[in-house]
Amino acid sequence: MMRFRTFALALVVISLGTFAPAEAQTGVSKWSFVPAGRTERFGHAEALVAAPVAFAREPAIDFAHYKDLSNGRIRNSRLVDKRTGSTDVYLQVPVLHGMVTLWQVLRFSDVQHAADGTETFTGKLVSGNVRAAEMTFTIRPAGAGRSVVECNLLITPQFPAPQSAVDAELRDAAEGAVRAIALRAERTYALVAPPAVTATVVAGDP
């Protein structure tokens, strides 16, 4: 039994650590919580992004290239269906040196736009070899050339595992997602952002 629990927990740890940033970012926080009206514990993370909402949205909805944000944790990510109002995304994650493959199809809603500029979209489990999965991204403006990207993540494994361990991995995976999105958004924005305007004082000017 102990060997089974260790094996199961290893699967949870590896599979939940899907997103991993290439570089560290600042302004990131994370915690666990139970959303209003729910009973499941989600991992939450948010990052302040030095780029507008549109630049953070681009990598967040680039579902087919989620594997490129995952630092090798995702073997395959592809669109399997696109219809009015939703997109189905297939994710394949090898674990234990490829001996086991975890897979899931998440159905993501189209981006919802609020009057204050906040954008939200959610992916929910359609099929897979996990018991439950859900991922919500929220991107909101935070001043000129700035935004905040948030991720709420739920994964319920089919294996027994301590809730504290699952909580920690959900928090870390959500943190990795927002870090990776922030990094991609900031790199893209840096290529097109207008240069900062600075005042120059010439000697002898009044």
Share of the chain above pLDDT 90, in %: 48
Q: What share of the chain in percent tops pLDDT 70?
A: 74
Residue 143 pLDDT more than 60? yes
Mean pLDDT of the chain: 80
Find residue 95's DSSP bridge partners.
100
Helix, coil or strand: residue 65: helix
Least-confidence region, from 75-79, 154-158, 202-206: 202-206
Helix axis angle, 163-192 relative to 2-16, nearest 10°? 20
Closest C-alpha among 184, 128, 140, 156 to residue 48: 140
Phi, psi (rounded to 5 degrees) for 190: -60, -25
Residues 15-45: pLDDT tens digits?
444 454 444 455 899 999 999 999 999 999 9
With 90 as the cut, is the pLDDT of residue 66 above it? no
Q: How many CB atoms lie within 10 A of CB 140?
A: 17
Q: Which uninterrupted H or E stretch holds 167?
A: helix 163-192
Answer whether 0.75 is exceeded by the pTM.
yes
Q: Which residues pair with residue 154 across a beta bridge?
A: 134
**pLDDT value of residue 170:** 83
pLDDT of residue 7: 39
Supply the pLDDT for residue 166. 80
pLDDT at 69 over 60: yes
Supply the pLDDT for residue 26: 55
120 pLDDT more than 60? yes
Range scoring the smallest mean pLDDT among 24-33, 81-90, 149-158, 187-196: 24-33
Give the C-alpha separation, 50 to 28, whole Å. Answer: 12
Mean pLDDT, residues 56-61 taken together: 96
| Structure token pair of residue 101 | 């493959």
| pLDDT band per the 50, 70, 90 thresholds, residue 95 | low
